[in-house]
Amino acid sequence: MRLSVSLPSNLTQDVANWRYVLDFARACDEAGVDRIMAPDHIVFGEQLDAYGNPALGGLVGGSQPTGPDGNYFEPMSLLAALSGVTTQIRLGTGILLAALRRPVVLAKSAVTIDVLSGGRLDLGVGIGWQREEYVAAGLNFKARGRLLDHTLEVCQLLWREKRASYESQDLTFSNIHAMPKPLQEGGYRFGSAAE
């Protein structure tokens, strides 16, 4: 059995006192917790009832716990900070809205955390439930599944190949080198938040 703990990073109090998140991660690391998870929200709209709608990616009976003004840290930045204050615990996203990020930049962010943490990064990815996040990023909410597939395809290519070329309707590049590569053999294990 493995124990995963979600970070208290959806801060509802004064964000000036955020350092307790680092202390929490250190305590989990010392206690032998297997993995610590960082949630992801870039922005919030005011239609939070979508959180409870499975047709939109929500959960039956679910409710968004912080309201529209919840203070969420960007998870990749947060995990980079946690990699410097922990030594053993795996660092995960639960879940990262990967389609909201440019694939080449996400690939570099992820590999940086992986290398700095000694190969401890786990990426849990998903499409999310909130239309407003896609609109704010200039992306089509209805295309979020395709956008996620595209993002993961590009990231995996860059993590695997020394010299990479790619062509799609969204992105084209040729003969690029993205170094370093992940310490984890073959890149990252993508998983769902349920694992």
pLDDT at residue 194, as a whole number: 39
Q: Are 165 and 174 in contact (CB under 8 A)?
A: yes
Closest CA relative to residue 111, chosen from 74, 68, 156: 156
Domain range list for the chain: 4-180
Task: Output the CATH code of domain 4-180.
Answer: 3.20.20.30
Q: Is the peptide bond before 75 cis (omega within 30 degrees of 0)?
A: no
Stated pTM of the model: 0.89
State the Cα–Cα distance between residues 161 and 107, nearest whole angstrom: 12
DSSP state of 103: H
Strand partners, 164: 176
Q: Tens of pLDDT along 4-35?
A: 999 875 666 677 888 889 999 999 999 999 99
